[in-house]
Amino acid sequence: MTSPTTIVIGYVPSPVGEAALEAGLAEAATRGDDVVVLNSPRRRSTVDAELIDTADADALVARAAALGVSARVDHADHGDDLVEAFRTVVEATSARLVVIGLRRRSPVGKLVTGSDAQRLLLDLDVPILAVKPGA
């Protein structure tokens, strides 16, 4: 019997994060993978609307367990570089897949600002499943 592989799921408490979580947990349940849910605060940020508390983290782990998936939540500080936070977790866990959610952006928004999702797609050396929330 082979040991389970790992999927890293980028999560923020939003429809985008929920889409990533659902897709990642479904994939993990199908293939018998473990999951690391990366919910990373900004550098030195003690108040961050995207950071979940212990009760919410426990609820995510329980959702995974209900599907037969072993999961943990990682709150690694991503500082100025979210890609590096993902890279660190991917390397530490030898993850086979990263799951991220995508939000809709205007053409001007795409031109003016870079996208963390785009940087993840280009810079990580692991397959990435990018999902959008349902309508």
SS3 10: strand
Q: Which tens digits make up the pLDDT trace of 42-66? A: 554 445 557 888 999 999 999 999 9
Spatial distance between the Cα atoms of 50 and 100, rounded to a whole number of angstroms:
14
Return the pLDDT at 45: 47
Please state the pTM of the whole predicted model: 0.86
* Domains assigned to the chain: 6-131 (3.40.50.620)
Burial 24-39 (b: 16+ CB within 10 A, else e): bbebbeeeebbbbbbb
- Sort 17 into a burial class: Cβ within 10 Å, 0-12 / 13-18 / 19+: buried
pLDDT band for position 2 (cuts 50, 70, 90): low
Distance of alpha carbon 36 from the chain centroid: 8
Return the pLDDT at 112: 43
**Token output for 4:** 């389970």
Q: Which tens digits make up the pLDDT trace of 70-124? A: 999 998 776 668 888 899 999 999 999 999 998 776 555 454 445 788 888 888 9
Phi first, then psi: give them for residue 76, nearest 5 degrees: -60, 130
